[in-house]
Structure 1
Amino acid sequence: MSFSLDTPSAQTLKSEAKMLREERAASGKPLTHSEALEEIARTHGYRDWNTARAALPDRVAVPFQVGMRVKGTYLEQPFTGLLIGVQLAHNMQAFTVTIQFDEPVNVTPTFMFAAYRHRVVSTVDINGISPALRGNGEPQMRLFRA
């Protein structure tokens, strides 16, 4: 069985069910947890929660997805951009990300000359921080959702 990148995980559906419960409670029409799970499963095209749970993949929660707008620092230079590639590393603890910058980023530490990057590939952990460090001990990249 194959899944597209937009196939939700069971954790995603559980989060949706929690939000549904909170919305219904606020409007004075409370739901039980199991009722919320059943309703969310049906909205995603499953017969019931058990069917959805059996069909959904157990995937690592991915904090970054292709097409996401991001911001952060690269070589201590601020940037905004578009995430155009994400690949889970073999250790399942890091991601290789490809970012297309909105504006080119000067990656040289001196103002004597400039070397601009329009696109970079970097490895970040689940928190968006690169394990690769610069000479001053700062991470090569810090990545956040825009």
Structure 2
Amino acid sequence: MSDTPDTGVANVGNAPYFGGVSRKESAATLLRRLREEQGRSLRSVADEVGIAASQLSRIERGERGCNTTVGQRLAYYYGLPPELLELMEGTVPPDIVAILQAHPEELDRLRRLYGGGAEAHHDQRSARGLEEISRG
């Protein structure tokens, strides 16, 4: 039994993507960068993923988001973790939200391990709101 998702998309043979992602890089920018780094045309990627080239173009320009199916197909195509594109657009997977609601003490530990400057302070205020929700 395979642990690869049944996306209907052939993985292009890329090793899983473990490259760094800038906090300011959007999913659209990442997708375009990966395609260009691999020397692939917009049309060839769109054909292999099963979407229209115009749709992929709009996604790469940030004019259109990825629905779950298209996002999963693109993630698999490029060897990305499936949730990465969602996270880059600010959407936290529901299972992660549930974990943090059940264990809000983990927020501070995660900040200490991976935190940053001003963004971390803003995140602390947001986290307090999340902690209140989890208690409520």
- Report the structure, 1 or 2, having the larger helix content: 2
Q: Which has the higher contact order (CA 8 A, sep 6+)?
A: 2
- Report the structure, 1 or 2, having the larger strand content: 1
Considering the TM-score relative to the shorter chain, is it more than 0.5? Answer: no
TM (normalized to structure 2)? 0.29
